[in-house]
Structure 1
Amino acid sequence: MYTAAIGLFVAHGYEPTTMDQIAERADVARATVFNHFSQKVGFLEEWGARRRARVSEILGQEHSEDLPVADRLRRYLREMAELNIALRAETAVLMEASARFGRLLQDPSLETELTRIIDDGVRHDEVRPEVDPHHAGALLAAGYFSGIIRWIGAEPEPFDLPERLDRTLDIVLSGILKAQP
């Protein structure tokens, strides 16, 4: 069902796609779709969750938890950028739909992932003690979403997405990291 929905959203747009079309494409009963996704927006939430899970899986395979906080944050954002680049059409449709119909900026999921990394930096004494990890995570998540929305807003790609996210991270890091001796 998920794959059917994403394919339809990319082909026809999020708003025009109906739950009936998703059921037909997935070859399941309409009720089955509603049993798994009570609203169409559930597919958007699942899409975001799968992307974050994929990035966490990649970073887990690399044992990135052993990296300094700056490198972990950079790797996380880099992998998110690479997923968006690889699936630009999908990203464009689903990010726009998430912004218009979902809870893109209210959903704390990305913020939570980034905050977890910053919390590790606090525990390893890499982050200034006065920095609120939740606020820093929220700031990075907002910078990520702002960059993605601007990036998908024009064809051809208006800027290098990984570089843009790196620059955003550099600005935040210069404000949260302790000075290196």
Structure 2
Amino acid sequence: MKTGDGAAEGGRAVGRQERRRRKLHDELYETAIRLFVVQGYEATTMEQIAESADVARATVFNHFAQKVGFLEEWGVRRRARVAEILGAEHAEDLPVGDRLRRYLKEMSDLNVASRAETTVLMDASARYGNLLHDPSLERELGRIVDEGRRRGEIRAGSDCDQVGQLLAACYFSTILRWVREEPPPFDLHQRIAGALDIILLGLLADRGDAGA
């Protein structure tokens, strides 16, 4: 749908200049990610990104003030893609356990489908970025847990923020182990699903099962 010069977004028209800015932003992002995968994050400079995208060096800095900005946007885009997929499937109607499984499965699917990219970008995010301190994923997972708690699916008194932190930390540590060995040391989907089951079900056996 278009309104005047641009497509409507949130009830507002997006003008031609803004569309061009976003198009260039996407091109710079895609150029940087491609270079990171081919020659490594550390070896890639902002000058090389500018040259490959055929723009001035200052143009790159206008869109990404630091090289680490590409890593941050990579994470944002992945989470947005998962949210888009789950939104189309109305995953918010699922029980909390199934919803967490679907969310982490979609994240794992993205990693498996682009292992070379994930290997470079996830490792670089851990070394140079804010991967292990960025609360974005833990907040999203904590929000899902909190919705389950309000529906009575999670034990009353559970600290949803802490559960979100635990799930995010488990996810990132598992991905980092998976990308740092070649070939992959384990089945990513299976390992993440198993970790989620431990968190959801707990470790201690019921007393009735202790003698089994």
TM-score, reference length from structure 1: 0.95
Cα distance, 1:162 vs. partner? 0.5
Indicate yes or no: 2:133 matched with 1:106. Answer: yes
2:93 match? 66
Listed as ranges, the gaps of 5+ residues in structure 1 are 176-181
Q: 1:32 aligns with which of 51, 59, 72?
A: 59
Q: 1:8 aligns with which of 35, 48, 54?
A: 35
CA distance in 1, matches of 2:135, 2:85: 21
Cα distance, 1:94 vs. partner? 0.5
Q: 1:119 aligns with which of 134, 146, 161?
A: 146
Map 1:46-85 onto structure 2 (within 5 A). Answer: 46-85=73-112
Report the residue type matching 1:99 in the other structure: A
Cα distance, 1:12 vs. partner? 0.5
Cα distance, 1:133 vs. partner? 0.5
1:160 match? 187
CA distance in 2, matches of 1:23, 1:119: 44
- Output one character per residue of 1:26-72: Cα deviation in whole Å (capped at 9) or x when no partner: 12211111011100000000000000000000000000000000000
Report the secondary structure of 2:134's partner residue: coil
Report the residue type matching 1:133 in the other structure: C
Q: Return the index of the structure with the highest Cα Rg.
A: 2
Report the secondary structure of 1:3's partner residue: helix
CA distance in 2, matches of 1:125, 1:29: 56
2:15 match? none
Report the secondary structure of 1:95's partner residue: helix
CA distance in 2, matches of 1:56, 1:131: 24
Listed as ranges, the gaps of 5+ residues in structure 2 are 1-27, 203-212
* TM-align CA RMSD: 1.0
CA distance in 2, matches of 1:24, 1:103: 27
CA distance in 2, matches of 1:125, 1:136: 16
Cα distance, 1:24 vs. partner? 1.1
1:179 match? none
Report the secondary structure of 2:59's partner residue: helix
TM-score, reference length from structure 2: 0.81
Cα distance, 1:128 vs. partner? 0.7
Query: Across the two proteins, how many residue pairs are aligned to each other?
Result: 176
Report the secondary structure of 1:28's partner residue: coil
1:172 match? 199
Structure with more relative contact order (C-alpha pairs < 8 Å, separation 6 or more): 1
Report runs of 4+ in structure 1 exceeding 2 Å deviation: none
Fraction of identical pairs, as percent: 68
Cα distance, 1:154 vs. partner? 1.0
Report the residue type matching 1:24 in the other structure: E
Map 1:124-135 onto structure 2 (within 5 A). Answer: 124-135=151-162
2:175 match? 148
CA distance in 2, matches of 1:95, 1:72: 24
1:42 match? 69
Cα distance, 1:129 vs. partner? 1.2
